[in-house]
């Protein structure tokens, strides 16, 4: 696992050393957690595949630096999917910059929670890049089952990714319930859960 610091002007990263890195990472998941002030970004890679969970900060200049850091870290790997748990800018602001710099798989997908603010966010990306390298998939309120939410081709044998809505509404604004996306990531017998900004109260209720 590696940790990256993103500031307005530069990027600093430290990575755990391992013998025969290429062979190691072909058979393991590497999870990179970016320390982004006012934001959240997680990059997951295995072999030539990559997933981006979230990806943004509260400042435009920092988003450009973040997109550059992600693109450099991909090192020729292909993004299979971008997953935005919810459309706040501190989770999505680097996505437009990534479209112009990162390499995407032919079947790449862009997951969001389908609320009106997500429509606005996706339109912002289209306005900057009319020809997108991914297809949008909005997980709607009546789609609690994740049967069709498995990202095709990620990670090879023994790995898969499931996308579905949170078990209960994450936030309420003006009487409307807003949902967050959950990501269940499996590698062989190990499962990992990523929940965006959902609070510990939800964990205590549901776990």
Residue 75 sits in a domain whose CATH number is 3.60.15.10
Residue 95 is given by DSSP the state: H
pLDDT band, very low/low/confident/very high, at 156 (cuts 50, 70, 90): confident
Average pLDDT over residues 111-134: 92
Average pLDDT over residues 25-41: 79
At 87, phi and psi to the nearest 5? -90, 20
d(CA 135, CA 131): 10
Average pLDDT over residues 145-160: 69
17 pLDDT more than 60? no
200 pLDDT more than 50? no
pLDDT band, very low/low/confident/very high, at 168 (cuts 50, 70, 90): low
Which domain does 178 fall in, by range? 2-206
81 pLDDT more than 90? yes
pLDDT band, very low/low/confident/very high, at 18 (cuts 50, 70, 90): low
Instruction: Identify the burial level of 12 via C-beta atoms within 10 angstroms of its C-beta, where 0-12 means exposed, 13-18 middle and 19 or more buried.
Output: exposed
| Number of structural domains in the chain | 1
**pLDDT value for 121:** 93
Which tokens belong to 87? Answer: 């459309």
pLDDT > 70: what percent of the chain?
Answer: 71
Length of the chain counted residue by residue: 207
- Give the ranges where 53-207 is alpha helix by DSSP (H): 60-74, 89-92, 95-99, 116-128, 200-206
Task: For the chain, give the mean pLDDT.
Answer: 78
Average pLDDT over residues 23-39: 75
80 pLDDT more than 80? yes
d(CA 157, CA 143): 27
Lowest mean pLDDT among 54-63, 65-74, 101-110, 195-204: 195-204
d(CA 61, CA 72): 17
**pLDDT value for 142:** 61
d(CA 184, CA 201): 19
- What would the DSSP string read from start to end of 34-93? EE-TT-EEEEEEETTEEEEEEEE-SSHHHHHHHHHHHHHHHTT-EEEEEE-SS--HHHHT
């Amino acid at each position: 696992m590696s940790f990256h610091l993103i500031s307005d002007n530069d990027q600093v990263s430290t990575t755990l050393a391992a013998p025969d890195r290429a062979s190691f990472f072909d058979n393991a998941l590497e999870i990179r957690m970016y320390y982004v002030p006012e934001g959240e970004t997680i990059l997951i890679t295995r072999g030539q595949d990559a997933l981006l969970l979230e990806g943004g900060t509260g400042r435009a200049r920092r988003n450009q630096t973040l997109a550059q850091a992600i693109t450099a870290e991909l090192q020729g790997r292909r993004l299979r999917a971008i997953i935005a748990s919810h459309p706040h800018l501190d989770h999505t602001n680097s996505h437009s910059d990534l479209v112009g710099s990162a390499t995407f798989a032919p079947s790449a997908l862009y997951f969001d929670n389908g609320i009106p603010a997500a429509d606005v966010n996706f339109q912002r990306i289209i306005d900057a890049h009319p020809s997108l390298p991914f297809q949008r998939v909005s997980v709607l309120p009546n789609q609690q089952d994740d049967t069709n939410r498995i990202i095709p081709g990620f990670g090879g044998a023994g790995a898969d990714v499931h996308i579905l809505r949170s078990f209960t509404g994450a936030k309420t604004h003006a009487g409307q319930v807003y949902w967050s996306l959950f990501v269940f990531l499996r590698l062989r017998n190990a499962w990992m859960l990523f929940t965006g900004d959902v609070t510990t109260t939800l964990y205590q209720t549901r776990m």
